[in-house]
A and B are shown apart, each in its own frame.
Chain A
Amino acid sequence: MSIYLNNAATSWPKAPGVPEAVSAALQAPPSDGRRQGGRADDCLEQCRCRIAHLLGVPDADRVVLTSGATEALNLAVWGVPLTHGSRVVTTVAEHNSVLRPLYHRSRPLRCRVTHVAVSPDGELDTSGFERALADGADLVAVTHVSNVTGRAMPVSELFRASKAAGAVTLLDASQSLGHLDVRPDELGADLVAFTGHKGLGGPQGTGGLYVAPYLELAQIRVGGTGVRSELLAHPQEMPLRLEAGTPNTPGLAGLAQALQWHEFEGVAARGRVADRCAALRQGLSELPGVRLLGAGTSPAGIVSFTVEGWPVEDVGQVLLESFGVTGRTGLHCAPLIHGPLGCAPWGTVRLSAGPFTTEDEVAAAVSAVGSIAVCA
C-alpha cells in the first residue's frame, strides 16, 4: 500500500496529461517561439497567458516565468527598492523562501524587519500587524496560506493597510494558487510569487512572478534572451527584463498542460481537496493523543499535528515505513511559526491531500495515525 499525502511539498500524481506534455517537449526538436519570432502555440507564451487568465490580469507580459517560487521571491525581494533603514513587515508564518531572501537583503542595509506573530491556533495577530505598520513600511511580504497550519491569511485586509502605509506588497502564493482565487487586484498585491508544482499540479522547476504594471523591479539577473542580442545591456521590456537564460521549456510545457486542465477541472479539484482535508482533519481530531495545529479546514489540503508521546520524526517514519503513508515531518522550512504554535523545536507531522486523494486513502491514513497514537 502506498498513500501519498505530501501534496503541500509537491503534487502527485500530476494533473492529467502533464507527464506526456513534458515527455513530448523533450522528444520534439527544441524550439523557442520568442527566439524564432514568436508563435501562438509556444508553450512559454501559453503558460504566460494561462497564468494571466488565472490571476485575472490583462497583460500577460507582467508574468515572469521562473524556476519556481523561490526564484520568484528572490526576484521580488532583491528587485524592490530598499535603502538604508527601510522598514519591512512580514510574518512568522513565512517559508524560508521568503525569510532568507529578506534576511540577506535587509541585513547589509540595516532594514528594520518585523515578523508579526500568530496565535497558538495559527491566526495572524492583525493588531500586531497594524502596529508594525504604524511608522510606515517599504515592503510587506505575506504568505497567502501557511504551509504548516494550512490556514489562509486575511490578505486583502493586510495589504489594504500595507498600501496605506506606503508599502510594496508581495504575496507568496506558493500554497494557494490552484486552491484559492488569487487575484492581485482584489487582494491588493503588487507582486505575486507562485510555483507550478503544488496546487496547479505541474512539474517541479516551474513557477513565476506577477509584477503589477505600475511597478518596475531592479534586475538581479541578466544574460541571454534570444532577442536584441546586439545590445550589451539586457532588454528593459517585460517580461524579458526579468528573464534570462534558456527557459525550462519541457517543464513549462507540462505547466501549460496543468493550467489547461485546471481551467476545466479546477473548481471540482478544489472541492475534492477541501472534502479530503475536512475528512482528514475530522478523523484525526477524534483520535486520543493527537493534537491538531491550526483551526478549520485548509483550502490547501494541509493538516498538521503532533502525537502525544511520539517524536514527530518517528511518526513520519512509522507512517512511511510501517504503513506506506507519505507525509512530512519537521519544521517544513518555516522555522518561526513553531514557537507560537507550541511545537518548537521539533515541528509537526504534516499530511496534505491533493485533488486525486481518495476517501479510502484518507481513512487508511487516519487509521494508521490512530494505531500509532494508541502505542504512546
Chain B
Amino acid sequence: MRIVGTERLEDCFDGSSAYSYCFNGRWTRTDILALDALGQVDYYPGFPRPFFRVRGREGWVVKGVEGEDNCHAVFPGRGAEEGKQRFEAQFGDDAEG
C-alpha cells in the first residue's frame, strides 16, 4: 500500500489537522491488521463493510473501511506535522508491504 494522493480537509476546531489519503490499493483485512505496528487497531469485521480505526502512539487517528482505497487521518495540534510525516513514511515509496 502506497499513498498516491493527499488532500487537506477542513481543520478541526480542537486545533488538529485532518487529511484524506488515497492509496494504490484497497484495504484488506491483512493490511488493516498490519497497522498494529503503528498503534492500537480497532477493527470491526462484523459490519457489512468493516470499519477500522488506528490510534497512533503520537495521538493521531486513522479511520477507514475495508475494501476502500482511502482513509482519513487526524493529527493532533501539537506535533501534528511530525505525526503526519511518521504516518506517511509508513506508506511512502520506501515503505515495505
- Check A345/B13 contact, CB under 8 A, given A321-B65, A322-B65: yes
CB contacts under 8 Å to A, within B35-94, are 44, 46-51, 53, 63, 65, 68, 72
Q: Bound state CA distance, A317 and B68, in angstroms? A: 13
User: Which residue of the partner chain, among B13, B14, B49, B72, contacts A322 with CB atoms under 8 Å?
Assistant: B49
B13 touches A321 (CB 8 A): no
A318 touches B44 (CB 8 A): yes
CB contacts under 8 Å to B, within A243-261, are none
Is A164 in contact with chain B by the CB < 8 A criterion? no
- Check A322/B48 contact, CB under 8 A, given A314-B53, A345-B13, A345-B14: yes
**Closest chain B residue, CB of each to CB of A324:** B48
- Check A323/B48 contact, CB under 8 A, given A314-B63, A345-B13: yes
- Check A375/B46 contact, CB under 8 A, given A314-B63, A321-B68: yes
B48 touches A317 (CB 8 A): no
Main secondary structure of the interface of B (DSSP, over half): loop
Give the Cβ gap from B3 to chain A, nearest Cβ, in Å. 20
Q: Bound state CA distance, A317 and B20, in angstroms? A: 13
How many residues on the A side are at the interface (Cβ–Cβ under 8 A)?
12
Give the Cβ gap from B53 to chain A, nearest Cβ, in Å. 7
A322 touches B50 (CB 8 A): yes
B51 touches A317 (CB 8 A): yes
B14 touches A321 (CB 8 A): no
Residues on B with C-beta less than 8 A from A119 are none
- Check A317/B63 contact, CB under 8 A, given A345-B13, A345-B14: yes
**Closest chain A residue, CB of each to CB of B46:** A371
Q: Bound state CA distance, A88 and B65, in angstroms? A: 47
A375 touches B14 (CB 8 A): no
Residues on A with C-beta less than 8 A from B63 are 314, 317
B53 touches A322 (CB 8 A): no
A322 touches B44 (CB 8 A): yes
Residues 289-322 of chain A: 1 if any B CB is under 8 Å from the residue's CB, otherwise 0?
0000000000000000000000000100110011
Residues on B with C-beta less than 8 A from A322 are 44, 47-51, 65
Residue from A322, A323, A371, A375 having most chain B Cβ neighbours under 10 A: A322
Residues 310-350 of chain A: 1 if any B CB is under 8 Å from the residue's CB, otherwise 0?
00001001100111100000000000000000000100000
- Check A375/B44 contact, CB under 8 A, given A317-B63, A345-B14: yes
Give the Cβ gap from A363 to chain B, nearest Cβ, in Å. 15
- Check A371/B14 contact, CB under 8 A, given A317-B63, A322-B65: no
Pairs across A and B, CB under 8 Å, 10 listed: A314-B53, A317-B51, A318-B44, A318-B47, A318-B51, A321-B51, A322-B47, A322-B65, A371-B46, A371-B47
3 A-B pairs with least C-beta separation: A322-B47, A322-B49, A321-B65
- Interface residues, chain A, with chain B CB atoms under 8 Å away: 1, 314, 317-318, 321-324, 345, 371-372, 375
